[in-house]
Structure 1
Amino acid sequence: MPMPRFRDSERLRLTTSSARTVRLAGATDGPPLLPWPVAAVGGGVLAALAGAVLVAGVVLVAWLSAIAIALPTVLGFAAQVWLLAHGGVLVIGDVGVSLVPLGLTAAFVLLCMPVGRFAYRQARLARTGDVSPRDDRRLVLGSVGQVALGYTLVAAALAWGFQGPALIWRPALGAIAVSVLGSALGAVRASGYRPWATWPAWLRRGLRGAAAGGLALVVVSSVALAVAVVLGEAGISTLEQAVGFDTGGVFVWSLITLAYLPTALGWALSWLLGAGFTVGTGSLVSLSGTQLGMLPSIPLLAALPSEGAADPWMLAWLSAGVAAGALAGVVAARAGRRGVLGTLAAAATAGLLAGIVFLGWAAASRGALGSLRLVDLGPRLWESLLIGVPLLLLSAVLAGLVTWLFRRGAAAS
């Protein structure tokens, strides 16, 4: 008697897929376009000159309204503005201006980023085969150093020619900082090198929290400055009308305002965190009160609060700084292990780094707009160190501890 045949219900199914080509770590696209030193040092020189040309273009637009001024004088002024953005001194007659337009400085950092990326790629294309991590780090550092060399040479030459050898060191140090930061960002991104990958977990979490806290500082300072501008809009408009800008003047003044916007945000942030700032010798603007004297006719200064003791409710602005520090602590504490020591270490690192960012921002926002009473403008550094930094640190630690307790309770339930 024949037996029935049973087939397995599960069948083997065959599928096809297209082949993919995987790029090897040591593969290159071909020979380098330029030798490494030429690409790096020459790129640094070109980045510096491109920034100088950018400044000269804006100054020439303003020159159209005062064409009687000799062109060499205008170009010399543009060179000094470029030096001012790197920490130099803009000399106008017998008056020296040293208040740095940090927005223009940030633009020069962005100009150096593609140069660092290009210099690293030329160095990498000149190497055949795989490159060890140690050699790759050397390529990154070599690219950054050579770009900084070319960039700083231009800064030193301009400072020597337009301001004399005594003032070279200020723009030279600023040029080193700008070129190193910008080219390092470009070279590291091109190489894929991640030095923080081997750092302790609490330190990486602290860096993540510090980044969140730094972004929060930008937001709260922007809110404070926007509120001040809205409240002082009538005075600002009156001063702008008194100056009587033409079309070109409005364009140039708008760019000047954008260039000094990060500087103004540094002042607002110092005010928010309780340190306050000065707008000349003997003046003070803080949460507790305002003391002003004679001020230059700069429209943005019309947004300053009126003189006298401030309303006690003004101290509520401190909560904005506390919120920024707390955000840094929460972001640092949310990820990673649940141990209390690791959480507190990460939160403290985030708060401390956010405080260091604030202190550096405050220091870069200081300067002078002339002589006599206008030689001491910007955030108060000692008060920033003794009030602002501890405020961010303590708020980050407390927020990190609360986050750890909340996570522990949620895990227990």
Structure 2
Amino acid sequence: MNRGPRSDDPTSGRPVGVRRTLEQDTTTRSDGPSSLGGPWVSGVLGAIQAVVFSLAVVVVPAIAMAVAANAQLSASTSGWTAAVPVASRLWLLGHGVPLVTGIATVTIVPLGITAAAVFAVFVSARRTIVPTRSAFWSAAATYTVGTLLVAVSTGSTSGLQLTSAALGGLAVALVGLCWGLLTGPEPGPLADRAAVLAARLPQVVRDGARGAATAAAVVALLSGLLTLLWVMIGWSTVGDVLSDLRLDAASSISLGIAQLALLPNLAVFAGTWIAGPGFAVGSGTHFGPDLVTSAPLPAIPLLGALPAPSAGGGVGVWAPVLVGVAGVVGGWVASRRTEHMLWWHTVVVAGLVGTGAGVAAGTMVALASGVAGPGRLADVGASPVYLGACVAAQVGAGALLVLLVTRAEVHAALASAWRSMRSRRREGAGGERAAAGDGSPDKAGADKAGADKAGADKAGADKAGACTAPADSSAAAETAGGTPAPSRAGAPSTSGTVSEPGSASKTTATSSVPKASGASTTATPSDDAQRASDDV
């Protein structure tokens, strides 16, 4: 059997050392931790790695700052071990566990620590965890248990703290695992299973979710850009606060790291400013596009980047239009992958895009807001419900606008509705004309009968005039010549002339109407003799 060139064959196309290294790496990646007992083992090991890594991000800088501070003190009152419980409580605060102090219970979540924990789970999922369901759930359970163990070890054992630790740890694990296992370059069976489940959802729901994620990402990008603009404008104020604190190098670094943990919170507050409702940093304050009401704030350099009172009003009142633009982008993304859609689906998709973006914005505001300290700092942030409703309305309006403009199904439905409306209008006008002309056929028939009767009368009159014309001419000849014209039998007229001596003769002509019996009047010889004697 020909097995090909040996690994030590000088004619082999690959060097011996490189070939052995590649084979060893491939074997290691294919076996991995799952060879110890199954894919679920990789989930357990990956979750432990994520807990340690994210906890070290907070604890190690705290230890370094404590050591540097103790080195500058002549009499050290506490060792570096005191920084570990404090940093662990801050790590728990990043998972939503309230931090109980002697003067206040801090509930505001430093989103920078939360982001570091999610990123740690993401990296562990990509490098260690096998993309299977058993590994996924074992990793989520292990990370949740690790969060509970840290809470118990730091004394955060109240019912609210333990519940918050369990829920917060599970939420961070699920987000990081989904991000790492479902978006990898080589998706495994878990990604295939998720794709099958997503395919079972209606197309409208998938389009709405895609558009909502896009709109939320656009709002987050706008919030980050606005935060950067605020920092650049207020950089001089930040520098003044730092100079007034007179911190040493170690304290400055420690304060800088703490502010990095709260920088995402400021970005979330910038999102509330863009959406319109604004936010508060202490009781009696309001930072919004229409009005800025400030008050004395703690000496924290990051707060120097907040908008000045002169920033309220003006062009800033048009900031919510940007959220509508985010809705336009989300609606376009939701529509461009769908070839056919019912016209009313556009309304559903726009509603889902707005609702998803509003829920995401409200959740982030709920995490970034809360109690930041005693006194006036008990009111920091904004109302998540009101902010979520505003974002949902603005994003939904933008998405609906672009869907109505770009979808041919909507155009066809509008054209059909317009044609139907015009057709109904024509039918209504025709009915009104028919109602106004009721009885007109009878009237027209009567008018026609009257016209026919008038024509018959006119014809009779013309005929009568033709019959009397010879009689008139005979009378004229008798008057002129003195001799009456003989009348024809059946003539309908008689004429007579009466003459008196010494006076002008008077001629009278009459026309006789035919008798009902149809007999005609004729002149007799005796009558002619009488007329002759009269003339003599």
- Tell me which interval the TM-score lies in, with the shorter structure as reference length: 0.7 to 0.9
CA contact (8 A) 1:362 1:378 kept: yes
Whether 1:56 and 2:48 are equivalent positions in the alignment is: no
Partner of 1:7: none
Which structure 1 residue ranges, 5 or more long, are not aligned?
Answer: 1-27, 125-138
Q: What TM-score does the superposition give when structure 1 sets the normalisation length?
A: 0.80
Pairwise CA distance, 1:243? 2.5
Partner of 1:363: 366
Following the alignment from structure 1 to structure 2, what is the Cα–Cα distance between the partners of residues 280 and 289?
A: 16
1:4-403 map, 5 Å: 29=30, 32-36=34-38, 37-67=40-70, 68=76, 69-116=78-125, 121=130, 139-140=132-133, 142-166=134-158, 167-188=161-182, 189=184, 190-191=187-188, 192-193=191-192, 194=195, 195-307=197-309, 310-339=312-341, 340-403=343-406
1:402-413 map, 5 Å: 402-404=405-407
Once the two structures are superposed, what CA deviation does each residue of 1:119-143 show, in whole Å capped at 9, x if it has no partner?
752xx7xxxxxxxxxxxxxx42x32
CA contact (8 A) 1:278 1:380 kept: no
DSSP 3-state at the match of 1:177:
helix
Following the alignment from structure 1 to structure 2, what is the Cα–Cα distance between the partners of residues 290 and 65?
A: 40
Following the alignment from structure 2 to structure 1, what is the Cα–Cα distance between the partners of residues 92 and 135?
A: 24
Pairwise CA distance, 1:245? 4.1
Following the alignment from structure 1 to structure 2, what is the Cα–Cα distance between the partners of residues 285 and 184?
A: 36
CA contact (8 A) 2:109 2:367 kept: yes
Pairwise CA distance, 1:239? 0.7
Letter in 1 for 2:381: G
Letter in 1 for 2:336: R
Once the two structures are superposed, what CA deviation does each residue of 1:143-202 show, in whole Å capped at 9, x if it has no partner?
232212221222212212323321222222111110122123333344232232333322
Letter in 2 for 1:182: G
Following the alignment from structure 1 to structure 2, what is the Cα–Cα distance between the partners of residues 257 and 406?
A: 51
Following the alignment from structure 1 to structure 2, what is the Cα–Cα distance between the partners of residues 247 and 232?
A: 22
Letter in 2 for 1:144: F
Task: Give me the CA root mean square deviation.
Answer: 2.7
CA contact (8 A) 1:45 1:151 kept: yes
Letter in 2 for 1:364: L
Once the two structures are superposed, what CA deviation does each residue of 1:253-278 show, in whole Å capped at 9, x if it has no partner?
44333322221111000111012111
- Cα 1:386–1:184 shift into 2, 3 Å: closer
Q: What TM-score does the superposition give when structure 2 sets the normalisation length?
A: 0.63
Following the alignment from structure 2 to structure 1, what is the Cα–Cα distance between the partners of residues 317 and 408?
A: 29
Range with bigger deviation, 400-409 or 386-395: 400-409
Following the alignment from structure 2 to structure 1, what is the Cα–Cα distance between the partners of residues 62 and 269?
A: 26
Pairwise CA distance, 1:114? 4.2
CA contact (8 A) 2:67 2:79 kept: no
- Cα 1:299–1:378 shift into 2, 3 Å: same
Following the alignment from structure 1 to structure 2, what is the Cα–Cα distance between the partners of residues 223 and 406?
A: 37
DSSP 3-state at the match of 2:69:
coil
DSSP 3-state at the match of 2:280:
strand
Pairwise CA distance, 1:305? 2.5
CA contact (8 A) 1:86 1:175 kept: yes
Pairwise CA distance, 1:373? 1.1
CA contact (8 A) 2:63 2:81 kept: no
Pairwise CA distance, 1:394? 1.8
Partner of 1:10: none
Once the two structures are superposed, what CA deviation does each residue of 1:208-262 show, in whole Å capped at 9, x if it has no partner?
2223212211221122222222222221111122223444444444433332222
Pairwise CA distance, 1:94? 3.1
Following the alignment from structure 2 to structure 1, what is the Cα–Cα distance between the partners of residues 104 and 233?
A: 32
Partner of 1:132: none
Letter in 2 for 1:298: I
Partner of 2:19: none
Following the alignment from structure 2 to structure 1, what is the Cα–Cα distance between the partners of residues 312 and 54?
A: 43
Range with bigger deviation, 92-101 or 394-403: 92-101
Pairwise CA distance, 1:407? 9.5
DSSP 3-state at the match of 1:65:
helix
CA contact (8 A) 1:326 1:392 kept: yes
Following the alignment from structure 1 to structure 2, what is the Cα–Cα distance between the partners of residues 120 and 197?
A: 25
Which structure 2 residue ranges, 5 or more long, are not aligned?
Answer: 1-28, 71-75, 416-536
Once the two structures are superposed, what CA deviation does each residue of 1:61-97 show, in whole Å capped at 9, x if it has no partner?
2213321332221111111111111012334543433
Following the alignment from structure 1 to structure 2, what is the Cα–Cα distance between the partners of residues 60 and 71?
A: 6
Following the alignment from structure 2 to structure 1, what is the Cα–Cα distance between the partners of residues 377 and 178?
A: 36
Percent identity (aligned)? 26
